[in-house]
Amino acid sequence: QVQLVESGGGVVQPGRSLTLSCAASDFTFSTYAMHWVRQAPGEGLEWVAAISYDGSEESYADSVKGRFTISRDNSKNTAYLQMSSLRAEDTAVFYCAKGGERYSHGSTYINSWGQGTLVTVSS
């Protein structure tokens, strides 16, 4: 059973930075693309970023491009989302998610989700 455990959420002031981590287990992490998806309170799902299985390609939603950076460490089975210049509208539950196809460069559906970590941007 795939396990994805996010950490690093919390309350942060506007303009500050925060890094989320996603610890993965029970699957071959290094062969799957990973995604971050967020959901603002009472709102729908918004795809944020994806990284290819080998870390060679990254992709971002326009709303976070230039402010967020996705990365991964295949030796640690962990994905990351570095968030900077945070805004109130970034307040959301952030989900780490696993791509559904092996050796994808990012354009995949998602077949496993973590439980999410809440990021609140507020002064």
Residues at the contact surface with other proteins, assessed by CB under 8 A = 35, 37, 44-47, 50, 57, 59-62, 65, 95, 100, 105-111, 113-116
CA distance 50 to 34: 6
Give min distance, CB of 113 to other proteins, in A. 5
Smaller CB separation from other proteins, 30 or 59: 59
Quick one: 37 or 83, whose CB is closer to other proteins? 37
What is the smallest separation between the CB atom of 108 and other proteins, expressed in angstroms? 6
Between residues 93 and 121, which has the closer beta carbon with respect to other proteins?
A: 93
Dig out the tokens for 53 from the structure: 């299985």
Using DSSP bridges, classify how beta strands 45-51 and 58-60 pair: parallel, antiparallel or unpaired: antiparallel
CB of 37 to other proteins, least distance (A): 8
CB of 57 to other proteins, least distance (A): 7
Characterize 32-62 residue by residue with b for buried, 16 or more Cβ atoms within 10 angstroms of its Cβ, and e for exposed. bbbbbbbeeeeeeeebbbbbbbebeebbbee
Per the CB < 8 A criterion, the answer to whether 100 and 4 are in contact is no
Contact 81, 70 (CB under 8 A): yes
Residue closer to other proteins by CB (options 57, 82) is 57
